[in-house]
Chains A and B, each alone.
Chain A
Amino acid sequence: MKTIRIPVAMTLLLFVAACVTINVYFPAEAAQKAADRIIMDVYGEQPGNTAVPLEPQSRLHHNEMSFPVHALLNWFISPAHAEADISVNTPAIQQLQASMEKRHKQLAPYYKSGAIGMTLNGEVTLRDQKLVPLQDRNTIKSLISKENDDRSALYREIARANGHPEWESEIRAIFAKRWISNAPAGWWYKNTQGAWVQK
């Protein structure tokens, strides 16, 4: 009897444990879409998906003749897309994105020349400083340092904005892939073996 009772008890316990375990799955697909949107904006390309216009949900009941007069207000409500799986619409994220968009104009020629390359961890690095004139090397290093600070903050803020700070590394991993996928041909990136590859 005993030998049977123990497995039964264990099974029950497992059941109970299973009941209290809440699995929150990382919405990879939504994160990828969000990443693509940000990356395309930073790269300065114009994809077709411009922001969905916010249509006021007008509910105007105005009757001039009625008394007392009601001035009716119709504050409009944001359409349902505000409830997307991954939200990237916070002041911090917008500010970081704007800062990266601005910096990208300075970085772009160095991506193209191969002086800067994209790493596996969603950052950029000085790949070959010989391609940068001597007097510009420290400027580039400063830009790279700022870009990486912004990127790290971006991944952290996206995770935070969605109420899951622990998603930061997954968001970083998605971005790492998407920075490379969305980059134009000719730019350099590190492959999984750690070798530089030209796209």
Chain B
Amino acid sequence: MMFPWRRVRVALLLAPGLLVITALPGFAVDIVKLRLGTIAGAGWSAEAVSLQLNLLDERHAALLLQAQRVALPDGFGELSTLTLSCARAQITTTAVSCAEGTLKTQSTMLGQQHIQLTFRYQLDTGRIDTALRDIHACDGTLSLRARLSDTRWQIDATGTALSLPAVTRQLAATGIALPVVTGSAGLDVTAQLSGVSSQLQEADVEVRLLAEEVSDAAGSVAAENLDVSLHATVKAIATGMRVVLDLSGRQGALYIDPVYVEMPPQPLQINARFDWSSAGQQLLLHSLSYRHPGSVLVEGHGLFSLAADAPIRDLQLELRQANFPSLYDTYLRPWLYGSMLADLDTAGELSGVLYWEQGKLSRVSLDPVNLTVNDREGRFGLNAVTGRVRWSDTAVPARSELAWSSGSVFQVALGATDLVIDAGHDYIRLAQPVAIPVLDGALQVANFQLQRGADAALRWQFDGLLEPVSLSQLSLALGWPELAGKLSGVIPDVHYDNGDLEVGGVLLVRAFEGEVTLRNLKLQQPFGLVPRLQVDARADNIDLETLTRTFSFGRIEGRLDGRIEGLQLESWRPVAFDAVFATPEDDNSRHRISQKAVDNISSIGGGGVGGALSRSFLRFFKDFPYDRLGIRCRLERGICDMGGVAAAPEGYYLVKGRLLPPRLDVIGYADRVNWDTLIAQIMAVTARQEVRVE
């Protein structure tokens, strides 16, 4: 702090010195007027200064000091028409003092002032004691008590009901980089400052802030009903300043973009002890503690170099305790918007340590306890994750162990799993093969390796084996009609590259007493806004009776082969494929189709033929023999290019009857069908079936 005390003292010395002379016997002087002109010191100057003394008796005089304009050090503005008066200043051989003085002036910063003051000037030691009351500052009042002797000074200041918006305006005017706020917020401040000449030696400041509603112009710093206390002590040391800060937030809410903190029932506390060297722009953090009861307790120490590109030079940040969901909701989520982790339900606890060395994050160790993470859109989830996660920016990998009790991917349940992982600079790999239970089966994973490329893209691959998963559970989990059968497969090369997942090998579905094989499975952005899936499928020897029973479509007996090439799903709905399903050429099983099945196929056709059979004499037949049946659909741009098992006059056979009576052919005529309409019809028919079952 700069204050030109020496120059003040010169001026004050001059006046009483003259006073003493004029009071000597033989000089019958009653009034002394001095025109001092302009006096100036480092950073300040006063123009048209005059001093007038009206001697009252041997020991007392009325004192009047005036200055037309006083320029104060930078940031403090200037004073005009300054009048310091003391109706009865006491004058002794050792001191001049005033018990009731007034100072009137117009300050560019604080406006019109009428200040009550007392002062005492010790002539022999040069010590000055002064107290100023009722200074109108920042919509409140300020009192100052100052003691100045030789080069030492001490100031006690008390500010009452200062307005925070006014304080921030004034601080900004003095060039301090603080946001200017508007609204209504009051500050009570007490401060004890001491120093030598222009150097602050010690400061002890207590601030109580009550902010009803306050915000900066952009709304990025704001508070409501906030009650915060701050205690700061500052001490000069050889390298700069040593600062101890204790901050306590008792109630209300604070928003510092993007973090919104509601003060917990027990106060939120921040304690910090650091050395600040303004020359090196360095902050040596001896200790930091951030305690948000019910949410986090973080402790740390380190070195920051504010002028450097990476300001965190060395830092050890210890997460002593973190509770979910508060940690996630308050401190993590605001940084995760737009990512896959933006909408989670969380629970559990976490502790750990983060280390920065030489400007880089160098080591991480995190220990989750019963951590539960569930995507609110139901895409994925893990429950009761417990273990130790270690990462280090070195060639030697760090070993992590993690276990969870259950989880899910797209509602498909995963069972309890233990993982052992090695992690290095930019990779994670599985240290031991693992079997993740999937419904009643399991996914065996070996050689899992995850890599983060220089382009920050995430890549991983593994060799997998899917042990049989019951199709009935899988179909129910995915919200499909319940299917019977098993899904299994050898998937030797599963890899994921920046959102695209490719499954090598073959997935085998044993269903409806036949086999369905899936190849060339590719998934793009499975968790993204528009997931896309591509696969080629082949069905062999499906038993139609089981299939039609499953979908309660009306009984059909026989076998069915099929292939679906280039099936593409967009947002899990088909947009393209080329599919053919037909009775195998060499099939010699019993071929029968029920009346109900024929009716249903006709209803899907939508031509109003539904029920036609039951109106004809054919109603006497429960089912019909057929030679072959089949359907072909090539879907592209919402249109299905249709075909059947063989060409018929003007159309195609969907069901080709036997030559012997009762012969029944089902013939399709339309070769281009709107896919959405077709699906709607199928849904309507199956829905009707369900009603019938009831």
Contacts and interface: CB of A to CB of B under 8 A. Distances in A.
Interface of A: 54, 56-60, 62, 64, 67-78, 82, 87, 89-92, 94-96, 128-130, 132, 134-135, 137-138, 141-142, 145-146, 149-150, 153, 157
B224 interface: yes
Contacts of B662: 69
Interface stretch (B162-170, B451-459, B636-644): B636-644
Given A57-B670, A77-B670, A130-B219, 11 more contacts: A64-B612, A70-B667, A71-B601, A71-B609, A71-B613, A72-B602, A72-B607, A75-B642, A90-B570, A92-B570, A137-B258
B253 A134 contact: yes
B270 interface: no
Contacts of B672: 77-78
A157 B342 contact: no
Given A62-B612, A67-B663, A138 B342 contact: no
20 contacts: A62-B612, A64-B616, A70-B667, A71-B602, A71-B655, A72-B609, A73-B651, A73-B669, A78-B677, A82-B674, A87-B638, A90-B638, A91-B571, A129-B257, A142-B333, A142-B337, A145-B338, A149-B338, A149-B529, A153-B529
B560 interface: no
Given A73-B654, A149-B529, A91 B570 contact: yes
Contacts of B571: 91-92, 94-95
Contacts of B222: 130, 134
A76 to B, nearest CB: 5
The 6 nearest A-B residue pairs measured at CB: A74-B607, A78-B674, A73-B605, A68-B663, A91-B573, A75-B670
Contacts of A132: 219
Contacts of A96: 529-530
Given A92-B530, A138-B334, A69 B258 contact: no
Interface residues of B, number: 65
B598 interface: yes
Given A58-B608, A134-B224, A77 B673 contact: yes
B92 interface: no
Interface in B651-694: 651, 654-655, 657, 661-670, 672-674, 676-678
B614 to A, nearest CB: 11
B393 interface: no
Residue from A57, A71, A78, A137 with most neighbouring chain B CB atoms (10 Å): A71
Interface string B560-600: 00000000001111010000000000000000000000100
Contact of A73 (B334, B342, B609): B609
A73 B671 CA distance: 11
Contacts of B108: none
B261 to A, nearest CB: 10
Q: Interface of chain A, helix or strand or loop or mixed?
A: mixed
Interface string B255-278: 101101010000000000000000
A94 to B, nearest CB: 8
B670 A71 contact: no
B253 A82 contact: no
A68 B655 CA distance: 13
A172 to B, nearest CB: 16
A2 B638 CA distance: 58
B378 interface: no
B606 interface: yes
Q: Which of A73, A141, A153 has the most CB of B within 10 A?
A: A73
Contact of A82 (B255, B638, B663, B670): B638
A73 B612 CA distance: 11
Contacts of B598: 71
Interface string B223-266: 11000000000000000000000000000010101101010000
B615 A64 contact: yes
Interface string B600-634: 01101111110011011110000000000000000
B600 to A, nearest CB: 11
B21 interface: no
A75 B616 contact: no
Contacts of A68: 657, 661, 663-665
Nearest to B262: A135
B602 A73 contact: yes
Given A135-B262, A138-B260, A141-B337, A73 B667 contact: yes
A133 to B, nearest CB: 8
Contacts of B670: 57, 73-77
Nearest to A129: B219
Interface secondary structure of B, over-half rule: mixed
Interface string B193-223: 0000000000000000000000100111011
Contacts of B257: 129
B608 to A, nearest CB: 6
Contact of B606 (A67, A76, A78): A76
Nearest to B342: A142
B574 to A, nearest CB: 8
Contact of A137 (B255, B573, B609): B255
A82 B639 contact: yes
Interface string B30-73: 00000000000000000000000000000000000000000000
Contacts of A157: 530
A60 B337 contact: no
Given A75-B673, A77-B670, A95-B571, A89 B638 contact: yes
Interface string B326-365: 0000000110011000110000000000000000000000
Contacts of A145: 337-338, 342
Contacts of A78: 638-639, 672-674, 677
B668 A73 contact: yes
B260 A137 contact: yes
Contacts of A77: 670, 672-674
Contacts of B613: 69, 71
Contacts of B338: 145-146, 149
Contacts of B638: 78, 82, 87, 89-90
A188 to B, nearest CB: 15
Contact of B677 (A54, A67, A72, A95): A54
Contacts of A64: 612, 615-617
Contacts of A71: 598, 601-602, 609, 612-613, 655, 664-667
Nearest to B572: A91
Contacts of B612: 62, 64, 71
B637 A87 contact: yes
Contacts of B215: 130
A62 B611 CA distance: 12
A76 B466 CA distance: 41
A121 to B, nearest CB: 16
A150 B338 CA distance: 10
A94 B675 CA distance: 15
B529 A74 contact: no
A146 to B, nearest CB: 8
B603 to A, nearest CB: 10
Contacts of A57: 670
Contacts of B605: 72-75
The CB with the most chain B CB atoms within 10 A, among A59, A69, A128, is that of: A69
A77 B675 CA distance: 9
Interface in B294-345: 333-334, 337-338, 342-343
Contacts of B609: 60, 62, 71-74
Contact of B607 (A58, A67, A128, A134): A58
A135 B260 contact: yes
